[in-house]
Structure formats: C-alpha cells, structure tokens
Structure 1
Amino acid sequence: MFNGEIIIIAERSLSIQAGTDTKECKISISAPKFSEGMWICRYTIGWPDAVRDSFGAGVNSVQAIHLTLQKIGIELYGSAYHKAGILVFEKPGDGYGFPIPKNGRYLLVGADKTFEG
C-alpha cells in the first residue's frame, strides 16, 4: 500500500488449459511497503478455484521483491495445475518465468530449466 492505495508493479497472465476449456490465472505483484520493521511485497495468484493472497518479506525492498518472485515460483510449480500439466505461460511445458530457490530447481521445466536450472 502507498498512501492507502495498492500499487501494482507487475502482472503476468497464465492460463489453465483443460481440454477445450481455458481459464485465466492472473498474477499481480504490489510495490513493497515497510511495515513493522520489515519490507512486505504482496502478491495475488488468481487460481480459478480460489484467489491466493500472500506476501514475501525482506530486510529491504529488493530482498522482499526477490523472495516474493521465488515464492510465486514455488506456488506455481507446487500447484495441482502444474502437476496435471495444464498450467501454461507462453507454451505448454515451457515454465512460467518465475525463479525458485536452488533446492527446488529440479522441478523446473522448459525455458525455466534452461535459464534457471
């Protein structure tokens, strides 16, 4: 929040492709905000069955953004949609363009594996 407003700094749209049915899965990332001694970077994943609101936190705004991006990556790769092979960014099986921590890189596929693995 900034002056009572949520400032969205980045968005990405993924899709969930089940048969002929395609649903949007929009990810929104808000500007970091200093709160209670730490920086908080909120995000939303618009899963079709339930919206997920969460945050990453760090000692400064850069760390908060970095950890938030990794947290989003972990949630995407750990989702039932990924496991079913129906979560898509640009093309099926090519990853989602979010980093994940080193200990989870064995999960990466496609371009994510090429560039982050």
Structure 2
Amino acid sequence: MLIATRELEYETEDGVVMPVPVSLYSPEKNEKDWGCQYAIGWPNGIESRVAYGVDAIQALVLTLQSIGMSLYFSDYHKSGRLKWGDPNDGYGFPVPKNARDMLIGYDKRFDG
C-alpha cells in the first residue's frame, strides 16, 4: 500500500523541468523479516527496490536511507539539476553515516 510520496524536479540541459516522483510503500512481513518497497520515477525509467529489516520500523528506516543513497549517488544529483524546493537544499531523506559527506543544504544541517 502506498503510504507517502514526494515529488522532486530535474531540469534537463535544455531547461525542461521533469517531475521525479518518489513513492514509499508500507512495510510487509514475509516468512522471516519485513520488506519495505520504494520507487523513484527517474526521467529514464523507474527504479524500484525493497529494503529489509527485522521489524517494520527497521525496514522503513532502511528504506528511507536507501532512497537517500539512490538520490545522492544518481547522475541526476551529480549534474546539480535535481532539486526538491530550493536548489542545493537537499532532498529530505536520510543517508547512512558513511555517506553523510555527500549531503547538501538542509540535509547537511540535519544529518543527525
């Protein structure tokens, strides 16, 4: 079940602004653990992944971090033309400690 969405924007080299939707789905229990799916609607296609945890909360936290990693390691971020709100303010998703040096804007201020 879809539980949350966020829409980022990517501006092409030609100045065309394209939506980049991020969709987060509720954690689901399988036989031994919990999985939480997300999807990012990149201009070149949909990236869909699942992060697993020992319970629903861990699966959700790991999924949010996985979203952050996907965004920050993307070529779209590296181009400097991916944004959520004001340019260079970050995307509002956490990343694991070993990737916090990549954070920008508000994400860098609230790296917890």
Q: Say which SS state the counterpart of residue 88 (structure 2) adopts.
A: coil
Distance (Å, rounded) in 2 between the aligned partners of 1:31 and 1:44: 12
The Cα shift of 1:36 comes to 2.8
Q: Which runs of 5+ in 1 are unaligned?
A: 1-6
Which residue is 1:86 aligned to? Answer: 81
**Matched residues, number:** 111
* 1:28-57 CA-partner distances (Å, limit 9, x unpaired): 010100013110000000001010010111
> Which deviates further from its counterpart, 43-52 or 15-24?
15-24
Q: What secondary structure is seen at the aligned counterpart in 2 of 1:116? A: coil
Equivalence map 1:9-20=2 (5 Å): 9-18=3-12, 19-20=14-15
Q: For structure 2, which runs of at least 5 residues remain unmatched after alignment?
A: none
Q: Give the match for residue 104 of structure 2.
A: 109
Per-residue deviation, 1:20: 2.1
User: 1:71, CA displacement in angstroms?
Assistant: 0.3
Within-5 A mapping of 1:1-117: 7-18=1-12, 19-116=14-111
So what's the TM-score if we normalise by structure 2? 0.96
Q: What SS does the aligned partner of 1:14 have?
A: strand
Name the CA distance, whole Å, in 1 between partners of 2:69 and 2:10: 17
**TM score, norm. by length of structure 1:** 0.92
